[in-house]
A and B are shown apart, each in its own frame.
Chain A
Amino acid sequence: MKKLVLPLSLTFVGIVLFGLSFFNSKKVSGDLDISIVKASSIMPAAHNVYANEEVLDGKYYLFKAKITNETDQTLEDVTVRYQIPGYVDWTELDVIGEMFQGQTASVRCYPKFKDDISEKMTESTEKVEIEISWDGASEDDIIEEEFSFRISDRNEYLFTNIPTEEIVGWGDVYNNDALLACFVTPNDPIVKYYTQNIQEKILMGEAASVTKDPNEAIRFLGGIYNATLLSHMVYSGTKGIPESLQDVSKFSQHNRLPREVITGNTGLCLELSILYASVLSNAGLDPIIFLVPGHAYPGFKLNNQYFAIEATGIGGEGLGSIMSAEQAFQKGTEQLNEFIQKAQTGDPRYTLVDIHAVNQEGVTPMVLKDDDFLRKKVDDIVASWGSTRTINKATNNSRVASNTSSTNNNSGSSGASGNALSFSIPGGWQTFMRPVPEIPIITAQVLAPDQETTVTVFDVPASSGQEALGVINQYFQSFGMAIQYQLNGNQVVGQTFSEMGTFNWVGKTLRRNGGIRLVAVGAPDYLYNQSSGYINQVFNSIR
């Protein structure tokens, strides 16, 4: 029996070790390694952007955590939770089914704030609490982390989300441009009410979004301008305009919301641009905000063409000059031409925000509630508009091209205002606006009494005459036609070939409103010599 003591002892120790190994396996040694990258500040206006990881490549997270399993075990059901006391209750971020030794997980947090965060009027510093646990973790094992971050007030717009030490250029300083769309609030009941009043009392009806007619859309743009002008809205500064790349404290701006600009009757260039964008969007047009060094101005996009207005032309008595709607539109067009030239050369300081395009990417407007007090303020402002007939008359005169279809002698009446080409129409010729809906680049056609000699006005979204003629040719090809032309400066001589025969024409081009206008006059080849007198008369009158 004594001889069996040693082997039996070994067997016993083996059984004990084997058994203990199962108890010990539940005990984790080592730890989870956590590294957190956080956003320093959150804008309440953009809370819907921070909630959606699909928006803008997911760059607007509250934090992201790199979690590495440095224990000696495979951890199961590793659960990451977080809360923001007062804003977001404990929320499960991710459950990682298994986490092997050495495995790393990347967990992102896109917090879903309640809509009432857009009523936040003061900035505050808040805390995020993060908790990581797993199956079988004891109270001591659970990992808790926390950090603080800043929530700004609803009016604050931060120009960038890039840390200051990383900023190297203009593009970095204005990295948040797309978030301007959060401040554009077409669905704000106050903005809606204001828009309806412009449509009814200033414009006496408008249908720009239905007809897609640039004239009508420009009239609407002028209507907004006139509404601000008649209510004596003034241009005024606000706090926080960045002065240099080193001036970190100025990397944000206090943006009055459109409803505050309307009722406060004052706004800065960016705020006025946001107001215009809100009203235009509410009316069904595609608003654009153009951003240039030290300035912003609004406009819209229609039929792939850009239009702009200088919203700050309202100035104010204290500032001296006040522009009319026509002057503001002309100034906007000049600025737009400069913008396109600069943007084409790749100058990063000239950018635009296509509000509806970024809306579609998930950058949605902040939600605002109706407010009876503000509605009454709008009523007071509308009452100050008074008689609008003069304004309407002036606005009608500012149309890009006449929309009058006339059989009378209307020489000179088909001219465009501003810097568009104009020409004299001989007596008895008929004008047709948008004669071919399938070819939207044809703005107007004027037909001679012989029903053959024709003047055609093209407005083509192109950067050069050559490109414009290429676009026209593409349209014509889809209708079985083709053009040949020779461009010499701004003058062009060409022929159009179709089943009907050959049409000879001459014309002039001019850059306007971000595109090219071509006025061409011609006749079928068999009639060209006979009509050359009229053709030359019209051609020479093109200015």
Chain B
Amino acid sequence: MKNIKKLPLLLFLVITTIVYSQTQQKIDMKIDAIGNAQISLSMTMNAQEWQNWLATLGNNPAALKREIERSMPSYFLDDFKLEKDEMNRSFNLSLNAYGVCEINKRGVWTIDTDQKNANLTELTEHKYMLVSTPPDMGGTVQQTFTIEFPEEAQNIKIDKDAFGSSIFKFDMENSTSNFNIMRWAGLFLIVIGGGWSGAKLFSKSS
């Protein structure tokens, strides 16, 4: 999740915070079985924030995409989709981020929260929640992150990296390993041939 938290912040930076009420952001991060993440960000704004957002990014998806790519310079992102609910002054932005999880030399998967002593709540065995109020925005935004790990992820643990940031560590078996047709055909033939031979030998002896 390193740097991914920059994304919602950046989105909000362009919203003039004349009204100092706290705004809620919801960010869902769904990790797949090969370490990529599908990120979905949704937000509802007040009337003034909505006007400002439309004037800067809301009506210019290309600029929105460009700003997000710049806020996460070290990642590869694609499949941006923006859905606006004009009636309710809300939007939902989804995108894919590749290689968000890393596997170390020992085969342990990790994902960084980019936050020291992150206050993580376990919702289910594979789903965690993190609520934060980034100081960058003077406490005007409350972000609720949910991180959903794939079913293949096992032994999910919260740990710290060398810089003291909270990280998730987990094991994940390869769900995409290919069906080795030669091996299974060989086994099949051994069983059939062996069984047939056995039956012949049995019928001969009887």
| A interface with B by C-beta (< 8 Å) | 3-4, 6-22, 24-25, 35, 53, 57-59, 61, 64, 66, 68, 72-74, 77, 95-108, 166, 168
Segment of B79-87, B105-113, B120-128, B137-145 in the binding face: B105-113
Q: Tell whether, in the assembled complex, residue A106 and residue B98 are in contact, meaning their CB atoms are under 8 Å apart.
A: yes
The reply to whether B103 and A11 contact each other, CB–CB distance below 8 Å, is no
Q: For the complex, what is the distance from the CA of A118 to the CA of B147, rounded to whole Å?
A: 44
Would you call B186 and A106 a contact (CB within 8 A)?
no
A residues within 8 A CB of B35?
103-105
Contact in complex: A17, B201 (CB < 8 Å): no
Scan residues 164-206 of chain B and give those whose CB is less than 8 A from a CB of chain A.
174-178, 180, 182-183, 185-197, 200-201, 204
Q: Is the CB of B99 within 8 A of A10?
A: no
Known: A58-B74, A59-B70, A106-B75. A3 touches B105 (CB 8 A): no
Closest 4 CB pairs of A and B: A14-B189, A11-B193, A18-B186, A10-B193
Closest residue on chain B to residue A106 by CB atoms: B99
Q: Which residues of B contact A (CB under 8 A)?
A: 3, 6, 33-36, 63, 66, 70-76, 98-100, 102-108, 174-178, 180, 182-183, 185-197, 200-201, 204
A11-B197, A59-B73, A61-B74 known; A101+B104 contact, CB < 8 A: no
Residues of A within 8 A of B73 (CB): 57-59, 61
Q: Which residues of A sit under 8 angstroms from B36, Cβ to Cβ?
A: 103-104
What residues of chain A lie closer than 8 Å to B98, measured between beta carbons?
Answer: 66, 68, 104, 106
**Known contacts being A57-B71, A97-B104, A97-B107, is A17 close to B186, with CB within 8 Å?**
yes
B167 to A: closest C-beta gap in Å? 15
* Chain B residue contacts of A17, Cβ below 8 A: 182-183, 185-186, 189
Determine whether the beta carbon of B102 is less than 8 Å from that of A105.
Answer: yes
- Asked whether B99 lies within 8 Å of A14 as measured between CB atoms, the reply is no
Q: Does the CB pair B176–A101 fall under 8 Å?
A: yes
Identity of the chain A residue whose Cβ is nearest the Cβ of B180 in the assembled complex: A21
Expressed in whole angstroms, the Cα–Cα distance for A74 and B176 within the complex equals 9
Q: Are B177 and A10 in contact (CB under 8 A)?
A: no
- Known A7-B194, A106-B74; further 8 A-B contacts with Cβ < 8 A: A3-B200, A4-B197, A8-B197, A11-B194, A11-B197, A21-B186, A96-B102, A105-B102
Q: How near does chain A come to B5, taking the closest CB pair, in angstroms?
A: 11
Chain A residues, CB < 8 A from B102: 96, 105
Given A7-B197, A66-B76: A97 and B105 interface contact (C-beta under 8 Å): yes
Q: Which residues of A contact B104 (CB under 8 A)?
A: 95, 97
Task: Give Cα distance in the complex from A16 to B189, angstroms.
Answer: 10
A72 with B178: CB separation less than 8 A? yes
**B34 and A100 within 8 A (CB):** yes
Please, which residues of chain B bring their CB within 8 A of the CB of A7?
A: 192-197, 200
The CA of A95 and the CA of B63, in the complex, are separated in Å by 35
- Cβ–Cβ contact B3 & A13, under 8 A: no
A107, B3: Cα distance in complex, Å: 15
Known: A11-B194, A11-B197, A17-B182. A108 touches B74 (CB 8 A): yes
Do A103 and B34 contact each other (CB < 8 Å), given the known contacts A96-B102, A98-B107? Answer: yes
A33-B91 Cα distance, complex, nearest whole Å: 34
Does B189 lie within 8 Å of A13, measured CB to CB?
A: yes
**A58-B34 contact, Cβ under 8 Å, with A10-B193, A12-B193:** no
Residues of B within 8 A of A21 (CB): 180, 182-183, 186
Residue ID in chain A nearest B107 by CB atoms: A97
Docked pose: A16 CA to B182 CA in angstroms: 10
What would be 16 A-B contacts, judged by CB atoms less than 8 Å apart?
A8-B193, A11-B197, A14-B187, A17-B182, A19-B186, A21-B186, A59-B73, A59-B74, A61-B74, A74-B174, A74-B177, A98-B174, A100-B175, A100-B176, A106-B100, A168-B63
Most buried by A among B75, B99, B106, B185: B99
- Whether the Cβ atoms of A14 and B200 lie closer than 8 Å is no
Q: Could you say which residues of chain B place their CB within 8 Å of the CB of A35?
A: 76
The interface centre, meaning the residue of A6, A10, A25, A72 with most chain B CB atoms within 10 A of its CB, is A10
Chain A residues in 8 Å Cβ range of B72: 57
Q: B108 contacts which chain A residues (CB < 8 A)?
A: 97
B191's nearest neighbour on chain A, judged by CB, is A14
B177's nearest neighbour on chain A, judged by CB, is A74
Q: Which residues of B contact A105 (CB under 8 A)?
A: 35, 99, 102
CB proximity of A13 to chain B, nearest CB, Å: 5
List A contacts of B176 (CB < 8 A).
100-102
In contact, A95 and B74 (Cβ under 8 angstroms): no
> A57, A100, A101: which has the most chain B beta carbons within 10 Å?
A100
In the complex the two chains form, what is the Cα distance from A73 to B177 in whole Å? 7
Q: Which of B33, B76, B175, B193 contacts A9 (CB 8 A)?
A: B193
Docked CA distance A24–B186 (Å): 13
Chain A min CB distance to B58 (Å): 17
A4 touches B201 (CB 8 A): yes
Instruction: Report the nearest B residue to A12, measured CB to CB.
Output: B193
Give the distance in Å from the alpha carbon of A99 to the alpha carbon of B41 in the complex.
28
Most chain B CB within 10 A, of A64, A99, A104, is at A104
Given A8-B197, A58-B74, check contact A98 B103 (CB 8 Å): yes
Report the separation of the CA atoms of residues A166 and B70 in the bound assembly, to the nearest whole angstrom.
11
| Residues in B neighbouring A19, C-beta threshold 8 A | 186
Among candidates A25, A66, A97, residue contacting B106 with C-beta atoms closer than 8 Å: A97
What's the minimum C-beta distance from B87 to chain A, rounded to whole angstroms?
30
**CA A22 – CA B116 in complex, angstroms?**
46
A214 to chain B, nearest CB (A): 28
Residue of B nearest to A18 (CB): B186
A166 to B162, CA, bound (A): 36
Once A14-B186, A17-B182, A57-B71 are accepted as A-B contacts, the answer to whether A77 and B105 lie under 8 Å apart by CB is yes
Name A104's contact: one of B71, B76, B188 (CB within 8 Å).
B76
> Which of B3, B103, B195 has the most C-beta atoms of chain A within 10 angstroms of its own C-beta?
B103
| Shortest CB distance A87–B (Å) | 22
> What's the nearest-Cβ distance from chain A to residue B102, in Å?
7
Q: Given known contacts A18-B183, A18-B186, A101-B177, is B200 in contact with A57 (CB within 8 Å)?
A: no
Chain B residue nearest to A14 in the complex (CB):
B189
Q: Chain B residues near A74 (CB, 8 Å)? A: 174, 177
Which residues of A lie under 8 Å from residue B196 when comparing CB positions? 6-7, 10
Query: Beyond A3-B200, A104-B35, is A10–B174 a contact (Cβ under 8 Å)?
Result: no
